[in-house]
Amino acid sequence: MRSAPHPVTLRQLQYVAAVAEARSFRRAAEACAVSQPSLSAQVAGAERALGVRLFERDRRRVLVTAAGEALLARARRVLVEADDLLEAARRHADPLAGTVRVGVIPTVAPYLLPRIVPALRKALSALLVLWEEDRTAALVRRVAAGELDGALLARESDLGDLVQAEIAADPFVLAAPPGHPLARGRGPLRPEALEGERVLLLDDGHCLRDQALAVCTRARAEELGFRATSLSTLVQMVASGAGVTLLPLIAAETEAARAGLSARPFAAPAPGRTLVLAWRRGAAAEPALRAIAEVAARHAGVGAPSPRPSPPLRGGEGEHRSRRPR
């Protein structure tokens, strides 16, 4: 255990991270609400203490050195751990009180949140959940960086080493115009029935696209060139007769009915995704997130969680603040 004061402070690491993000000492100083000379002095002090030059500076730009890139990743982890330490101290008295920031993907937010937010308000009245909508890759990155406490995602996506609590199975259904041959049939479909069909999918960046595309590729379906930015646009294109699509069950009731489409299930084992709440290993908000996951699983309104146990630890009313993907 070190007894002498540490030569590098958290404030210095905060300023270093701010400069690296802004690529400017002036903008970093503004973001940190300090004077530029003060910030520059702290960054220089960190460089002296570490014995490494972190930035290349000239009048036009600031560049992070190769050594700086390697050390910045560690500095950011230290800052995240420091934030978790403070949050853990605040939650010590009541882990189910306070504010929790949770991300949610666009193909889940409009359909699941209306079902679970009232239940969360009733079951966890002292907890305020702030919801932010974004795509999977951005949410995973923000959870790992400590900008969010957790996120509602699909397990089939790349979630890194985030801890996961299962919410529900969300099987896919075929959505087609009422007059389409696949819509007129009775009983569940087998995925092979999609062979040769023209299928519309979401744009790149949506994890649902990757999951649906895998099904279509195995079935030898033909993906059309148009790629939608939302499920609402997708079903409107299907309603126009452009082709068929796969919808997650959680969205099918709303979107298929709105567009006048027929929704037909697939035979077991049906293709689909598994909705999970994911968070950083050791996150201070873990007790609250586990409680949120339990309430969400009871009120999701789609498939029950799979009978297999969730993996071991690896890795209030909500206010929905939508961050639309750019």
pLDDT at 78 over 70: yes
- Lowest mean pLDDT across 12-21, 27-36, 206-215, 302-311: 302-311
In the chain, where the domains are located: 10-90, 97-164+279-322, 169-265
Sign of dihedral through CA atoms 234, 235, 241, 245? positive
- Chain segment 231-271, per-residue pLDDT in tens: 998 899 999 888 899 999 999 989 988 889 989 999 988 89
Q: Which two tokens stand for residue 49?
A: 């203490």
Question: Beta partners for 176?
Answer: 262
| Superfamily grouping for domain 169-265 | Periplasmic binding protein-like II (3.40.190.10)
54 contacts: CB under 8 Å, gap ≥ 6: 16, 20, 43, 46, 47, 64, 65, 67, 68, 71, 72
Q: Is 55 helix (H, G, I), strand (E, B) or coil?
A: strand
- Chain segment 164-191, per-residue pLDDT in tens: 999 999 999 999 998 888 888 778 989 8
Distance CA 177, CA 182 (A): 9
Q: Return the pLDDT at 3.
A: 58
| CATH number corresponding to 10-90 | 1.10.10.10
| Superfamily grouping for domain 97-164+279-322 | Periplasmic binding protein-like II (3.40.190.10)
Query: What angle is formed at CA 85 by the lines to CA 80 and CA 89, rounded to 5 degrees?
Result: 145
- Res. 312 pLDDT band, cuts 50 70 90: very low
Per CATH, 10-90 and 97-164+279-322 having the same topology is answered no
